[in-house]
A and B are shown apart, each in its own frame.
Chain A
Amino acid sequence: MPSPETRVGQPLISLRDVHLSFGSNRVLKGIDLDVQRGQAVSIIGPSGSGKSTILRCITGLLPTERGSIRVGDTDVHALKSEAQRIELRKRVGFVFQQYNLFPHLSVLENLVIAPRKVLGETATNAEKHARELLAKVRMEHKADAYPGQLSGGQQQRVAIARALAMRPELILFDEVTSALDPETVGEVLTVIRELTEEGMTCVLVTHEMRFAEDISDVVYFTENGLIVEHGSPEHIFQRPTNERTQTFLRHALGDAGRRPVASGDPFLLSNISRYSLSV
């Protein structure tokens, strides 16, 4: 099967056989994953399958036990000191499910603080850049508001702008719309879509299947700490080969038209579950 990553050169992110356990709970059991520069890669799968953990490993927030993680020229698994991990995190943006804005700082200060303290930018430059980013996520009118005064969708857009303020090479999105109500999901997804169109390398952990299908170059399906299947969105969503992927997508999409054509007799008892019950 031709997958997009074989066409380009060395991937920007590459994970090989990554293992991680929390106590006796084995979370990652050998993850292989590649992200090319400029690609949008989605990781989908049931809760607790290790999706968010993969993202935290990539940016060095969690240490791996076995296997290798490479981001650009950095071997993340081999980083010994916090100072080295800090160098890595300057290049990797991270957006959280719960926004995690700093509540004691205004929107503008949230964007300015890291470039100023970490990158040592001047106040005027950092503020100018911050205002540009706020305009980009359509939040410039709330520059002086505090996070507690904003809706979830607005906070998440500010959080994306905050990650962008560090001028990262890539951004990791950890279920960024899971805490939002359906109406505000759209405004956040629009911002992410624009980023991917501009060529920003994005890795998304998401439960928004339609969105993942729409914007991704590659989709990974994880279950139980393993990559079960990966490929183009068309392959994963229209013609998944793995049975587990098929079941998951059937439930996730809740759409009769999405599942593979049933081969069995519809009146056979074992095949009944394949047909949606709309009473």
Chain B
Amino acid sequence: MAIDSPVSLPLGWPRRHPGKLVLLAAVLLWLVFGAPKSPVFAALREWSPALAAGFGQNILISLLAIAIGSVLGLLVGALAVSPLWITRLPAKIWVQVFRNAPWLVLIYFTTYVFPFELHIGKSWISFPDWVKVTLGLALPASANVAEIFRGAIGSIPSTQWEAARSLAFTRAQIFRSIILPQCFKRMLPPWMNLYAVITMGTALASLVGVHDLIDTAQIASNTVNRTGFTVLIYFSVLALFFAYCYPISRFTQFLERRYAFS
């Protein structure tokens, strides 16, 4: 069955944004023909591989943090919906503590509380700063994922449980076959939103000395030591983060609209 929309179909993308497209074209043209003569842009071009490497560090931290956070969060979330209070309580404390602590505090916490080397057997394994920052971001991520998971389970109507129970499913079977598959669909938009926020949070890594995008920008700005360059490089940092996070947030919105009906 098709849903008849009372609104007429929106225009195609290029026709909806003529002004923006013209502006973009003008900026590109100026960058190609006007910018090369300016020393500020020459410096930016010179620094761009370093900036890219720094941003790569940010993305690596964000991906690892959301991965660890998701695995931990699903575990904690599963404990939080358990019928036994003895498993529910630690999960609840975990969620409350790490959702309500400032991220920067958690990053300082993991950076300075954890040792910089681990002694396993006879070998020393170094525990670099960026891994500690990743863990620092994974903690609030796990608490948020746990909440998202718990909320998704709670949002499945109780009639689904009842129907599955009437079909002689066990509790574990209901969870695996009926509830979880419906949960993951509902969790996807808030989870991607969380990922975008975590990515923005990786900017905090520079504060504990991780050589990330912000740190690189600071070094470049101090080295070149021109006001125009400082302005430009922080605009570039902003543009990079925006270019990475904005598509994620748009895709999340698209998913939310799509799933709103089912």
Which residues does A use to contact B, with CB under 8 Å? 59, 61, 82-83, 86-87, 89-90, 92-94, 96, 98, 100-104, 113-114, 117-118, 148-149, 162-163, 166
CB nearest to B185 among chain A residues? A104
A113 touches B162 (CB 8 A): no
CB nearest to A113 among chain B residues? B177
A94 touches B166 (CB 8 A): yes
| The one of B162, B182, B261, B262 that contacts A100, using a Cβ cutoff of 8 Å | B162
Residues of A within 8 A of B1 (CB): 149
CB nearest to A100 among chain B residues? B163
Residues of chain B from 154 to 208 with CB closer than 8 A to chain A in the complex: 159-160, 162-171, 173, 177-178, 181-182, 185
A217 vs B172: C-alpha distance when bound (angstroms): 39
Task: Report if A162-B167 is in contact (Cβ < 8 Å); known contacts: A61-B162, A100-B160, A148-B262.
Answer: yes
A96 touches B163 (CB 8 A): yes
Residues of chain B from 1 to 42 with CB closer than 8 A to chain A in the complex: 1
CB nearest to B163 among chain A residues? A100
A61 touches B165 (CB 8 A): yes
A94 vs B166: C-alpha distance when bound (angstroms): 6
A48 vs B185: C-alpha distance when bound (angstroms): 36
A103 touches B262 (CB 8 A): yes
B167 touches A89 (CB 8 A): yes
- Nearest CB of chain B from residue A232's CB, rounded to whole Å: 29
CB nearest to A88 among chain B residues? B168
B262 touches A166 (CB 8 A): no
A162 vs B167: C-alpha distance when bound (angstroms): 9
Residues of B within 8 A of A100 (CB): 159-160, 162-163
B167 touches A166 (CB 8 A): yes
Q: Which residue of A98, A114, A163 has the most chain B CB atoms within 10 A of its CB atom?
A: A114
Q: Which residue of A86, A90, A98, A166 has the most chain B CB atoms within 10 A of its CB atom?
A: A86
| The one of A98, A102, A118, A166 that contacts B173, using a Cβ cutoff of 8 Å | A118
Q: Which residue of B1, B160, B163 has the most chain A CB atoms within 10 A of its CB atom?
A: B163
| The one of A103, A114, A162 that contacts B182, using a Cβ cutoff of 8 Å | A103
B162 touches A118 (CB 8 A): no
Residues of chain B from 118 to 166 with CB closer than 8 A to chain A in the complex: 159-160, 162-166
Residues of B within 8 A of A82 (CB): 170-171
A118 touches B168 (CB 8 A): yes
| The one of A61, A104, A113, A148 that contacts B166, using a Cβ cutoff of 8 Å | A61
**28 A-B pairs (CB sep. < 8 Å):** A59-B166, A82-B171, A86-B169, A89-B165, A89-B168, A93-B166, A94-B163, A94-B166, A94-B167, A96-B159, A96-B162, A96-B163, A96-B166, A98-B159, A101-B163, A102-B164, A104-B181, A104-B185, A113-B177, A114-B167, A114-B169, A118-B167, A118-B173, A148-B262, A149-B1, A163-B167, A166-B167, A166-B168
Residues of B within 8 A of A114 (CB): 167-169
A117 touches B177 (CB 8 A): yes
CB nearest to B262 among chain A residues? A148
A163 vs B168: C-alpha distance when bound (angstroms): 11
Residues of A within 8 A of B165 (CB): 61, 89
Q: Which residue of B165, B166, B181 has the most chain A CB atoms within 10 A of its CB atom?
A: B166
Residues of A within 8 A of B177 (CB): 113, 117
Residues of B within 8 A of A61 (CB): 162, 165-166
CB nearest to A117 among chain B residues? B173
B181 touches A90 (CB 8 A): no
CB nearest to A87 among chain B residues? B168
A89 vs B185: C-alpha distance when bound (angstroms): 29
A237 vs B261: C-alpha distance when bound (angstroms): 44
Q: Which residue of B167, B169, B177 has the most chain A CB atoms within 10 A of its CB atom?
A: B167
A89 vs B167: C-alpha distance when bound (angstroms): 6
Residues of B within 8 A of A163 (CB): 166-167
A102 vs B1: C-alpha distance when bound (angstroms): 18
Residues of B within 8 A of A87 (CB): 168
A100 vs B185: C-alpha distance when bound (angstroms): 18
CB nearest to A93 among chain B residues? B166
B169 touches A117 (CB 8 A): yes
Residues of B within 8 A of A117 (CB): 169, 173, 177
- Nearest CB of chain B from residue A167's CB, rounded to whole Å: 12
